[in-house]
Structure 1
Amino acid sequence: MQQHLMRRKRICEQHLQTLGGITSALGEKDSYTRAHGHRVALYAVRLARRLGLPAEDIRNIGIGGWFHDVGKLALSDHILTNREAHLSGELRQEVRCHPLIGAALLKHIDFLGPAVDFVLFHHERKDGSGYPFGLKDGEIPPGAKIVSIADCFDAVTTDRPYQKGQSIASAFKILRDGCRRCFCEAYVEVFIEEIEENGIIRNTGPASLLVDQLVRSAAGYPDM
């Protein structure tokens, strides 16, 4: 038993090093995307906790939020540094591949489990208009729905190369309007309650350590 645990720990350390290398590479390619991933993880965890989900589900959702855009490692630098609000059709198709690429990068790390699906499906929408598969409401895992809300909120409220961040009120309106075809309305309202009570994330700073704790706990290390 002891040998098995030691072997498991070595494998987990190797996987953690792999994940650390992936996030470092992403940060070197696009610092915004890495910081965005940290914030999305933290927002997703806050929503999952407020919904009363089990600890294991919260961890998986946090990990899915952290790595939701990791597939952008494979995108051209022109996309990541683009300062235009609208991309060409060819570049849009390239962007739509990032959930597939991200899931492929992560699928062999066994302890990530459902978190890989949250990466794969975070751009699916309840009316079937999302990508990469056009899934509809009941086909989308709840964790992916949570990550998509956190992703949208952070994208709207932070500065990007092609747009200035909008107000919290504007982000709330976008989320509520999106309930018609994109987001789970019940989750959106709970998320808005959470932000109204506890505020937005101004920076990731030491708070980003939570993400490392999420991964370690999912890998079989002591709970947070």
Structure 2
Amino acid sequence: MIKLNKQNLYFLIILLIATLFLIYSYKSLLAADIKTFIIFTILALLAETLSVRLVNDAEVTVGFAVFIGSILVLGYEVSIWVAFMSELLCEIRHRIPYHTFFKKITNIGLYIVMVGGSGLIYERLGGVPGYINLQQNLFGFLALILTYFLINVGLLTIGLSILYKKSIKYIFSTTFKWALPNYIALAPLGILLAIIYINIGALGLLLFLIPLLVARHSFKLYMEMKKVYLETIQALATAIEAKDPYTRGHSERVARLAVAIAEELKMDSDFISNLQYAALLHDIGKIGIPEEILNKPCKLSEDEFSKIKTHPALGASIVKNVDFLAQASSFIMYHHERMDGSGYPVGLKGEEIPLGAEIIAVADVFDALTTDRPYRKAWRLEDALDELERSSGVQFRPAVIKALKKVLEREKIWKDAVN
């Protein structure tokens, strides 16, 4: 028996609405022009196959433009079946594993609900399949686009929020904040598709495929550029740690924990991206520190420690002139400051210290305490957390310590933090 938790309830509601749409529109499918139906199904399948993966296992496609065109040409009832058949064939092509069966079926249901809901609104506002007049029904076209966007992003945000146990605000800001401009950019292509098909026919769709593929390629390049940025930063972090075998993997662990803390604090996606970059590179300034100091197995002299204290400012100066790292530089610069003003390199205190720097400081110290160093063995995880809590309000911001504790308790990453 299937347990009716939030996730299963979400699946059932989507599938119920989708099933009702399919039953309601079946008679319209039987009366539809089969050639046009097949053409739009193939176009939608092609568009959905050429998807671009985002974070949180979400994907973006140019299928929106095809579904808009289908609604305008065939009407929403037949377009429901275009969505159903194209998505079903797409999932069959990927050979659905049993453990993801309900998730994939729900994904098909989401497309049916998006096309059915937005198309229904469009036709209720005066839209007529096969007839396009932007001047007469501009409000209907805008409602079609907006409704599709709201259903798509709204339902996916709720679903991912349930799946990953994150807030709706966080899922939206990290995954879908860019989506409305993307929909606005693709909507004219959908209208163009409908106009071409109505006036020229199937051969005219070859003209449509060019801008459609260009739009998909442009977005793919954008996502790949972001991936290259992150991989470049990770390579730099690895190069830094090559000087000190005891800190191998330290930057990635700090980045992972810092991001989790920021998510717990409900920070937005831009902040989290900058924080991740800064956390990966927080020790980049150690490039300028002699290896004999970094690897010294006993206590540092005052002169040696004064050299160590230069690494935050040196690190910030290295990254501040790189466009996509400029905002991360202040987090690197101040991650050794303390709430009581006794930190370095400037001696900031309290709220003067950027929150991102505070988060990195907590993640940095936690990881340092729980891993072996040349001068001591790793602390027990519980002891490390107790030590951080004792320093709350003196060295660290209390809100960040509380967030760390919640992250460790909720996500159970005690072992991940040190492995």
- How does the TM-score come out when normalised to structure 2? 0.44
Whether the aligned pair in 1 keeps the contact of 2:251 and 2:281 (CA below 8 Å) is yes
Q: Which residue of 407, 411, 414 corresponds with 1:194?
A: 407
Percent of residue pairs identical: 36
Q: Corresponding residue for 2:341?
A: 128
Alignment-mate amino acid for residue 249 of structure 2: A
Please give the root-mean-square deviation of Cα atoms over the aligned residues, in Å: 2.5
CA distance in 1, matches of 2:417, 2:366: 14
Q: Deviations over 1:66-99 (max 9, x none)?
A: 1111111111111221111x21000010010010
Q: Corresponding residue for 2:382?
A: 169
Q: Name the structure with the higher helix share.
A: 2
Q: Do residues 29 (structure 1) and 243 (structure 2) align? A: yes
Q: Corresponding residue for 1:217?
A: none
Q: Which residue of 350, 354, 361 corresponds with 1:148?
A: 361
Q: Do residues 71 (structure 1) and 71 (structure 2) align? A: no
Shift of 1:138: 1.4
CA distance in 2, matches of 1:178, 1:204: 21
Shift of 1:25: 2.7
Q: Corresponding residue for 2:276?
A: 62
Q: Deviations over 1:119-163 (max 9, x none)?
A: 100000111000000001111111111111101110111111111
DSSP 3-state at the match of 1:134? coil
Of structures 1 and 2, the one scoring higher in RCO (CA 8 A, sep 6+) is: 1
Shift of 1:63: 1.3
Q: Do residues 92 (structure 1) and 305 (structure 2) align? A: yes
Q: Give aligned pairs, total.
A: 200
Q: Corresponding residue for 1:179?
A: 392
Deviates more, 1:88-97 or 1:107-116: 107-116
**Rg bigger for which structure?**
2
**Alpha-carbon distance change, 187 to 21 in structure 1, aligned in 2, over 3 angstroms:** closer
5+ residue gaps, structure 2, are 1-213
CA distance in 1, matches of 2:405, 2:320: 32
Shift of 1:199: 2.0
CA distance in 1, matches of 2:375, 2:361: 20
Q: Which residue of 291, 294, 307 corresponds with 1:80?
A: 294
DSSP 3-state at the match of 1:126? coil
Q: Do residues 49 (structure 1) and 267 (structure 2) align? A: no
DSSP 3-state at the match of 1:29? coil
Shift of 1:53: 0.7
Shift of 1:15: 6.6
Whether the aligned pair in 2 keeps the contact of 1:33 and 1:69 (CA below 8 Å) is no
CA distance in 2, matches of 1:20, 1:164: 26
Q: Corresponding residue for 2:320?
A: 107
CA distance in 2, matches of 1:42, 1:156: 16
CA distance in 1, matches of 2:347, 2:293: 23
Q: Corresponding residue for 1:213?
A: none
CA distance in 2, matches of 1:21, 1:183: 29
Alignment-mate amino acid for residue 144 of structure 1: A
DSSP 3-state at the match of 2:378? coil
